[in-house]
């Protein structure tokens, strides 16, 4: 690739970045986009912006950059949680280490690479980018020791900064644990693999087991029920009602009449819903607690939440082996209430290892299927082979600007388009594995996406980039280091354009929130939906963490070999530092937190990148026949691995479990202050499986009734709470006239009553007396 092709790619991406950032600074000021760019703040503060015309709203500004830079780490921690701080520290570490690498390599290594051989240097735009890599150095060059010294400097500073970051995040994790004084998951243990008994229910089995073996610390328990279908029906009905809640004080007729459905762009006619008359005896029918349909003993699953009196007791029970059979009575600390992934709690524990093997095989197959587009993309970077395979393109590729566009911009764009399919696929695989929490599922998807991108973006491009037909490079693993040494300097040009396309452009689209902006436009002006139905997203760690770590890998491996990539990487990390902080503060809502568990992933990936860089440099020094530089590289690899082992022994255990000393101190403080009884009382409702099945207050829904009760032209108010005033509003959505809100309300209440009966355990109790015959309208 020529320098002109690189400049073409850089110019296109710089133009896109400037355009997107300018549009963002304007669009964020528009009141109709407040839900897109300030979703988290609106959800917390419920603010509204004025609709008045202000000239400043249509002028680009940099105020959002200043606000994001002024935000301190404590403010970010309080706003977005510890995971956001960890992600921010990854960017800070990358900025620090690659700033040093850019100074050393661009000023010291790059001139040596450029003048490494006695040759006639043409004008820089027409020069090949390979002349700026270590491949341009002569064999047995006495200047190769400079590359070795720079490698030592980058490795030493990187390890020092990694240790400081590891200690800092470990301290924040301990503070995160100690500040969560009333966190119920510290007292709760998730028990899976409960043996099924023919004589007693799961509830009795759990109670008898923990009273027998943990009598001094056992408090209570809650069995997990498999009632997914009922729960989905209730949740779906309640979501449907929330979309109709702007019907307060509105008359909803029962008669069928033509209604025009308008979406803002077109119109069509149809018939509205028809409310069927309800018989008086059916309307007053009450669900009976003794009904056999409510008895669901077979719907219990072998899992339960067990509550303990102290945090220390819960920690001990979660870590020890309960029986001689490791597949029964499996215990672990419960996730936070909002983090529980209920669907996977119903999975039998004995299936999990089969699911993990199946998802691993599916991930491997998907990785190898992805070789097809990657191999095609590499063909675009090699014009000679491309012209041989597609002869009809010879005339078109003779034009200079077409050649620069095809080799400098198109390959990375196509690869980025294909990579958009990876995170959803890996998230689906992670769900099938059976994680019990949303954060665990997202963290598992993050690891899968990281492995996938490193393999397909780095190794496959490097090993197959020198020749498209040599996909069998893995047939001889012992030759991989030498192949990497030959290919990485050559493929560094592709990685540079990839940073421009996947890095700069992706940050611009991230700050623009293109998907959210388009969806907001469709909701407001096409579907004409209310703003209250807007969904505030959570931060996609499973896509952004692998992307940042991949760029770190490219920076380390190319720093000494092809330093020209470092300035572009620095721009990405600086821009990402500003953009992501702005998104954390304004856009994304933190629903659950792993407590900093993304940092060990970042640390291990960074160590892998450093060691891989050292191995590649060892191979390059061998190819250049510099035994001194190669000999000094071997101890550096050993020292880096020893440093990683020290961090694993010193700091990693803090991320695997909670320290008993801190938990005991928290227990003693709660007992002395008298808060322990209140905490125990809150535990019984902390992990309510059907917490979202409480009735929605439906007020002000008026239904036409005839004189016989089936329909009338007059209004009769159906109020649930006469003490609350109701206000009448007009129907603004033309497609919602005549909807059966009354029947929807009755369905929501009936389903909620049934689920509450199951939750209270009435299905497994003795037949109740007449007093248990409760009206669902007043339950």
Kindly state the DSSP code that residue 486 receives in the 8-state scheme.
H
If you search the block for the tokens 């409480």, which residue do you land on? Answer: 694
Residue, of 719 and 156, whose pLDDT is higher: 156
Which conformational region is residue 329 in: left (phi greater than 0), alpha (psi within -120 to 50 degrees), or beta? left
Contacts made by residues 705-714, CB under 8 angstroms, sequence distance 24+: 705/254, 709/277, 709/280, 710/254, 710/277, 711/253, 711/254, 711/255, 711/275, 711/277
Any idea which of 143-157, 212-226, 277-291 has the lowest mean pLDDT? 277-291
Q: Give the per-residue pLDDT at 507.
A: 87
The residues, ordered by sequence, that sit 6+ positions from 282 with a Cβ below 8 Å of its Cβ are none
60 inside domain: yes
Overall number of domains in the chain: 1
Going by C-alpha positions, the residue among 742, 740, 695 that lies closest to residue 721 is 695
Q: Give the per-residue pLDDT at 578.
A: 92
Q: Give the per-residue pLDDT at 738.
A: 42
The pLDDT tens digits of the residues spanning 580-623 come to 998 898 888 888 889 899 999 999 999 999 999 999 999 888 88
Per the CB < 8 A criterion, the answer to whether 559 and 566 are in contact is yes
The pLDDT tens digits of the residues spanning 151-185 come to 999 999 999 999 999 999 999 999 988 887 788 88
Residue, of 430 and 346, whose pLDDT is higher: 430
Highest mean pLDDT, choosing among 62-71, 670-679, 703-712 = 670-679
How far, in Å, CA of 109 to CA of 562, rounded? 9
Q: Tell me whether residue 486 is exposed, middle or buried, using C-beta atoms within 10 angstroms of its C-beta: 0 to 12, 13 to 18, 19 or more.
A: middle
The dihedral through the CA atoms of 756, 759, 763, 767 has a sign that is negative
How far, in Å, CA of 616 to CA of 482, rounded? 8
Query: In the predicted model, what is the mean pLDDT of the chain?
Result: 75
> Quick one: tokens of 444?
């598992």
How far, in Å, CA of 190 to CA of 222, rounded? 10
Q: Give the per-residue pLDDT at 622.
A: 85
407 inside domain: yes
Cα–Cα–Cα angle for 535, 38, 595, rounded to 5 degrees: 75
Per the CB < 8 A criterion, the answer to whether 296 and 196 are in contact is no
The pLDDT tens digits of the residues spanning 78-132 come to 888 999 999 999 999 999 999 999 999 988 888 888 776 665 555 655 556 677 7
How far, in Å, CA of 605 to CA of 548, rounded? 11
Q: Tell me whether residue 55 is exposed, middle or buried, using C-beta atoms within 10 angstroms of its C-beta: 0 to 12, 13 to 18, 19 or more.
A: exposed
Helices (H), 433-540: 438-453, 460-465, 480-498, 505-512, 514-521
Residues in the chain: 779
How far, in Å, CA of 571 to CA of 95, rounded? 9
Q: Give the per-residue pLDDT at 739.
A: 44
Please, which pLDDT band fits residue 377 given cuts at 50, 70 and 90? low
444 inside domain: yes
C-alpha distances out from residue 555 to 378, 558, 570, 594, Å: 20, 5, 9, 28
Q: Specify the pairing of strand 188-192 against strand 330-333.
A: antiparallel
Provide the greatest CA pair distance for the chain.
Answer: 104
Residue, of 756 and 97, whose pLDDT is higher: 97
Q: Give the per-residue pLDDT at 118.
A: 60
**Please, what's the b/e burial string for 161-170 (b: 16 or more CB within 10 A of its CB; e: otherwise)?**
bbbebbeebb
Q: Is the pLDDT of residue 221 over 50?
A: yes
Q: Tell me whether residue 192 is exposed, middle or buried, using C-beta atoms within 10 angstroms of its C-beta: 0 to 12, 13 to 18, 19 or more.
A: buried
How far, in Å, CA of 204 to CA of 216, rounded? 18
Cα–Cα–Cα angle for 602, 607, 613, rounded to 5 degrees: 125
Percentages of the chain per state (helix, strand, coil), in multiples of 5: 65, 5, 30
What is the C-alpha R_g of the chain?
31
586 inside domain: yes
If you search the block for the tokens 């190898």, which residue do you land on? Answer: 368
755 inside domain: no
- Specify the DSSP element, H or E, that contains 226: none
Any idea which of 193-197, 281-285, 398-402 has the lowest mean pLDDT? 281-285
How far, in Å, CA of 435 to CA of 344, rounded? 6
Q: Give the per-residue pLDDT at 690.
A: 65
Going by C-alpha positions, the residue among 7, 49, 3 that lies closest to residue 29 is 49
Please, which pLDDT band fits residue 483 given cuts at 50, 70 and 90? confident
Please, which pLDDT band fits residue 702 given cuts at 50, 70 and 90? very low
Over residues 269-291, the mean pLDDT reads 43
Going by C-alpha positions, the residue among 745, 695, 701, 703 that lies closest to residue 726 is 701
Beta bridge pairs of residue 718: 701
Range of the domain at 105: 3-182+348-658
Instruction: List the helix and strand counts (H, then E) for the chain.
Output: 33, 9
Going by C-alpha positions, the residue among 231, 221, 229, 228 that lies closest to residue 194 is 221
Residue 50's φ and ψ, nearest 5 degrees, are: -75, 150
How far, in Å, CA of 420 to CA of 7, rounded? 25
Any idea which of 35-44, 59-68, 471-480, 494-503 has the lowest mean pLDDT? 471-480
286 inside domain: no
Going by C-alpha positions, the residue among 335, 342, 214 that lies closest to residue 206 is 214
């Amino acid at each position: 690739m020529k320098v002109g092709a690189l400049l073409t790619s850089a110019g296109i991406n710089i133009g896109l970045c400037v355009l997107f950032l300018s549009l963002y600074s304007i669009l964020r000021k528009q009141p109709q986009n407040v839900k897109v760019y300030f979703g988290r703040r609106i959800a917390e503060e419920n603010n509204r912006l004025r609709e008045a015309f202000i000239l400043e709203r249509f002028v680009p500004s940099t105020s959002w950059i200043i606000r994001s830079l002024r935000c301190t780490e404590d403010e970010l921690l309080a706003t977005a949680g510890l995971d956001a701080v960890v992600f921010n520290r990854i960017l800070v570490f990358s900025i620090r280490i690659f700033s040093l690498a850019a100074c050393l390599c661009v000023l010291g290594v790059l001139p040596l690479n450029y003048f490494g051989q006695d040759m006639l240097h043409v004008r820089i735009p027409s020069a090949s980018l390979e002349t700026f890599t270590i491949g341009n150095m002569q064999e047995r060059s006495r200047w190769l020791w400079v590359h070795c010294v720079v490698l030592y400097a980058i490795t030493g500073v990187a390890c020092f900064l990694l240790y400081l970051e590891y200690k800092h995040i470990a301290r924040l994790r301990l503070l995160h644990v100690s500040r969560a004084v009333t966190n119920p998951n510290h007292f709760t243990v998730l028990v899976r693999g409960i043996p099924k008994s023919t004589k007693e229910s799961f509830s009795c089995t759990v109670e008898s087991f923990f009273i027998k073996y943990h009598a001094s610390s056992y408090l209570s328990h809650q069995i997990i029920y498999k009632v997914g279908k009922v729960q989905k029906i209730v949740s779906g009905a309640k979501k449907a009602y929330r979309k109709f809640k702007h019907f307060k004080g509105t008359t909803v007729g029962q008669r069928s009449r033509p209604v025009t459905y308008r979406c803002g762009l077109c119109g069509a006619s149809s018939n509205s819903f028809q409310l069927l008359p309800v018989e008086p005896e059916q309307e007053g029918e009450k669900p009976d607690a003794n009904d056999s349909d409510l008895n669901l003993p077979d719907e219990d699953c072998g899992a339960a939440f067990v509550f303990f009196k102290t945090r220390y007791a819960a920690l001990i029970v979660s870590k020890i082996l309960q029986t001689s059979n490791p597949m029964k009575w499996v215990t672990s600390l419960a996730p936070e209430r909002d983090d529980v992934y209920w669907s996977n709690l119903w999975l039998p524990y004995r299936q999990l290892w089969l699911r993990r093997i199946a998802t691993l095989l599916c991930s491997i197959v998907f990785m190898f299927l992805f070789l097809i587009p990657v191999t095609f993309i590499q063909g675009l970077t090699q014009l000679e082979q491309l012209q041989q395979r597609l002869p009809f393109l010879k005339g078109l590729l003779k034009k200079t600007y077409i050649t620069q566009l095809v080799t400098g911009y198109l390959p990375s764009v196509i690869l980025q388009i294909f990579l958009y399919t990876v995170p959803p696929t890996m998230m689906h695989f992670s769900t099938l594995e059976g994680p019990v929490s949303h954060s665990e599922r997202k963290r598992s998807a993050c690891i899968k996406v990281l492995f996938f991108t490193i393999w397909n973006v780095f190794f496959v491009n490097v090993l197959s980039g020198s020749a498209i037909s040599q996909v069998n490079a893995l047939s001889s693993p012992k030759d991989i280091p030498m192949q990497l040494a030959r290919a990485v300097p050559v493929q560094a040009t592709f990685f540079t354009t990839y940073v421009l396309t996947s890095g700069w452009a992706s940050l611009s689209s991230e700050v623009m929130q293109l998907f959210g902006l388009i969806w907001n436009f469709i909701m407001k002006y096409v579907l004409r939906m209310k703003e209250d139905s807007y969904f505030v997203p959570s931060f996609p760690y499973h896509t952004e963490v692998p992307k940042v770590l991949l760029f770190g890998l490219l920076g380390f491996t190319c720093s000494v070999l092809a330093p020209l990539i470092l300035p572009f990487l620095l721009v990405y990390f600086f821009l990402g530092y500003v953009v992501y902080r702005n998104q954390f503060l304004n856009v994304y809502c933190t629903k659950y937190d792993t407590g900093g568990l993304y940092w060990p992933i970042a640390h291990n990936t960074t160590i892998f990148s450093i060691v891989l860089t050292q191995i590649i440099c060892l191979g390059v020094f061998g190819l250049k026949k510099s035994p001194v530089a190669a000999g000094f590289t071997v101890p550096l690899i050993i020292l880096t691995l020893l440093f990683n082992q020290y961090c694993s022994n010193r700091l990693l255990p803090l991320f695997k479990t909670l320290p008993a000393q801190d938990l005991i101190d928290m227990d003693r403080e709660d007992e002395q202050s008298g808060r322990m009884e209140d905490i125990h009382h809150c535990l019984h409702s902390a992990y309510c499986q059907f917490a979202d099945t409480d009735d929605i207050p439906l007020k002000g829904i008026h239904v036409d009734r005839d004189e016989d009760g089936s329909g009338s032209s007059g209004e009769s108010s159906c109020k649930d709470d006469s003490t609350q005033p109701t206000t009448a509003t007009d129907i603004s959505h033309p497609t919602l006239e005549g909807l059966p809100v009354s029947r929807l309300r009755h369905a929501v209440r009936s389903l909620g009553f049934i689920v509450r009966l199951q939750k209270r355990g009435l299905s497994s109790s003795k037949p109740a007396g007449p007093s248990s015959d409760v009206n669902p309208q007043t339950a």
